[in-house]
Amino acid sequence: MTHCPGLVIVDYGSQYTLLIARKLREMNVFTEIVPASDQSFPDSIEVHGVILSGGPASVGESAHKLPQYVVDSQLPLLGVCFGMQLIAEHFGGKVEASSKSQYGRAQLKLTEVNSKKSTDLFFGLDAESTVWMSHGDSVVQVPADFEAVGYADQTIAAMTHKTKAIFGLQFHPEVQHTKQGEDLLRNFVAISECPQMWDGKGMLEEACECVLQDAKAGRVLLALSGGVDSTVAAMVVKKCLPRDQYEMVLIDHGMMRKNEVADIRQSFAQLGLPVTVLNREELFLSRLKGVSDPETKRKIIGKAFIDCFEEFTQQHGPFSLLCQGTLYPDVIESAGTHGLAKTIKSHHNVGGLPERLKLQLLEPFRLLFKDEVRLVGRQLEIPQALVGRHPFPGPGLAVRIPGEVTKEKIGYLQEADAIFIGALRESGYYDQTWQALVVLLPVKSVGVMGDQRTYAYTCVLRAVCSTDGMTANVTDLPLSFLTQVSDKIVNQVSGINRVLFDITSKPPATIEWE
């Protein structure tokens, strides 16, 4: 895609940087994310405007300044959160650490005059609307050539240059909870006069190109989990490479859903994917024995996966590449696009590979979101029953059993999960839910069944709506449905006598419990 017209996003390490790109892609706008350390625009894009992302640093302490090449370009500029603070600092405004951080929903109040002109970022917006804040510092005085045009809880939430197309937003327009965020981004696209000609169908071609290009290095080992992403990646590999250039393996770590391995085998056979299943339950469970810390558990699982790949390589290698269905949220929540974002969880599939394996990572969907991968899957004619499956994490049920993982707990969780997912499917709520799961708490409580006292575990039902897993809201399931599921679990799963429903959104919680 040489010299495609589009927008550049300078990445300061926000959890949401790619969300900006994704929202713009949905508007058929081509975007390119560049690291904050770059000194010029990339050659691949005809730049119509620039967005500065948010970031975890404080302007005062950060080495980052508004890049001179961006200032010199005189292109329309939009700073988000940290990006707005950089603009304020550069033009002589004042940024200070707020006495109280603002996280979550806030009410944006616009000053009337600024939403009237079509050249204004706020054109057509309501005078008051809900926005999503996530910041510690704020602009306390806008630069002389700017005016404050929006406030939230007495904080300056929006500013514009008096004569130029330079804007700052203290809140995140890219996050779903910002009600009119898309309108703001659309207005910026219009102000930038950026053509909206990017075609989502290119995603499959780009994934194929990525596989063909990287596979020149040698044979590919493909790790399948049975989830949507790795299945679609496998189909891309199968489409692009001759059979002797790849092997596919599914490691059964013993922490899959009930009957899942058998179901996966059947689906893969239907798709014609030649997969070897390695049962290594004992290895994983023995290494997890006595371990409770979430990050340690994830690291142990990541390492055990690597050891299994190594074992498989000895039998079927040599391989030069390990192909995985890693998605952008996995990348950003593990390490950040350019190493600036904070680690939330170490998603095992992005963990470093040891030198001795001499394997490079091949991740054709590294910059895509789940629903974009589903689109690619549909283009490859993968059945809806497979592409429509809820996401399932690589470490499996281990991240749904806070505390030590044991075979007994896995058994209880598999049963409860099968009841919940089965009920969601029967009622039609499954397809209205982005992801549903059950968590088994390390908490026992007293109950009564028949005339008997029980003392058993507590489980938590979680069902969320999301478009990408970066943010999520609770699915509004009726109480009558939840109580039916609860009754069924308590009656049929001997180790569980109490059922809770998790009503927390992400953020502040995450979707999985670990």
- From the number of C-beta atoms within 10 Å of its C-beta (0-12, 13-18, 19+), residue 324 rates as buried
**Residues whose CB falls within 8 Å of the CB of residue 246, separated by 6 or more in sequence, listed in order:** 215, 219, 220, 221, 222, 237, 238, 323
Question: Distance (Å, rounded) from C-alpha 512 to C-alpha 502?
Answer: 11
Asked if omega into 5 is within 30° of 0 (cis), the reply is no
Question: Distance (Å, rounded) from C-alpha 260 to C-alpha 169?
Answer: 46
State the minimum distance, in angstroms, from the CB of residue 65 to ligand XMP: 32
**Residues whose CB falls within 8 Å of the CB of residue 254, separated by 6 or more in sequence, listed in order:** 279, 280, 281, 282, 284, 285, 407, 410
Of 108 and 327, the one with the shorter C-beta distance to ligand XMP is 327
- Which spans of this chain sit near ligand XMP (rule: CB under 6 A)? 329-330, 333, 345, 347-349, 391, 393-395, 435, 469, 506, 510-512
State the minimum distance, in angstroms, from the CB of residue 490 to ligand XMP: 25
> How many beta carbons lie within 10 A of that of residue 181, not counting itself?
23
State the minimum distance, in angstroms, from the CB of residue 251 to ligand XMP: 13
Of 150 and 227, the one with the shorter C-beta distance to ligand XMP is 227
Question: Distance (Å, rounded) from C-alpha 201 to C-alpha 28?
Answer: 11
Helix (H) or strand (E) holding 98: strand 94-110
Q: Which residue is it, tokens 């340690």?
A: 296
Of 48, 64, 81, 512, which residue is the catalytic one? 81
Of 198 and 420, the one with the shorter C-beta distance to ligand XMP is 420
Of 419 and 511, the one with the shorter C-beta distance to ligand XMP is 511
Of 149 and 439, the one with the shorter C-beta distance to ligand XMP is 439
Question: Distance (Å, rounded) from C-alpha 120 to C-alpha 366?
Answer: 35
Of 180 and 231, the one with the shorter C-beta distance to ligand XMP is 231
Of 28 and 510, the one with the shorter C-beta distance to ligand XMP is 510
Of 135 and 348, the one with the shorter C-beta distance to ligand XMP is 348
CA angle 299, 293, 350 (to 5 degrees): 25
> How many beta carbons lie within 10 A of that of residue 318, not counting itself?
11
Instruction: Report how far Cα 402 is from the mean position of its chain's Cα atoms.
Output: 22
Q: Using H for helix, E for strand and C for coil, what is the string for 331-351?
A: HHHHCCCCCCCCCCCCCHHHC
Paired residues of 77 in beta bridges: 50, 166
- From the number of C-beta atoms within 10 Å of its C-beta (0-12, 13-18, 19+), residue 158 rates as buried
State the minimum distance, in angstroms, from the CB of residue 185 to ligand XMP: 23
Of 48, 64, 135, 172, which residue is the catalytic one? 172
Asked if omega into 173 is within 30° of 0 (cis), the reply is no
Q: Is the dihedral of CA 22, 134, 110, 145 positive or negative?
A: negative
Q: Is 404 a catalytic residue?
A: no
Question: Distance (Å, rounded) from C-alpha 186 to C-alpha 168?
Answer: 15
Query: How many residues are recorded in the chain?
Result: 514
Question: Distance (Å, rounded) from C-alpha 89 to C-alpha 448?
Answer: 64
State the minimum distance, in angstroms, from the CB of residue 91 to ligand XMP: 37
Q: Is 172 a catalytic residue?
A: yes
Of 83 and 393, the one with the shorter C-beta distance to ligand XMP is 393
Give the CB-side neighbour count of residue 59, counting CA atoms within 13 A. 29
State the minimum distance, in angstroms, from the CB of residue 378 to ligand XMP: 19
State the minimum distance, in angstroms, from the CB of residue 51 to ligand XMP: 24
Give the Å distances, CA to CA, from 275 to 123, 226, 249, 271: 54, 11, 5, 11
Q: Which residue is it, tokens 């033009």?
A: 91
Q: Is 61 a catalytic residue?
A: no
State the minimum distance, in angstroms, from the CB of residue 333 to ligand XMP: 5
Of 48, 90, 174, 514, which residue is the catalytic one? 174
State the minimum distance, in angstroms, from the CB of residue 219 to ligand XMP: 23
Active-site positions?
81, 172, 174
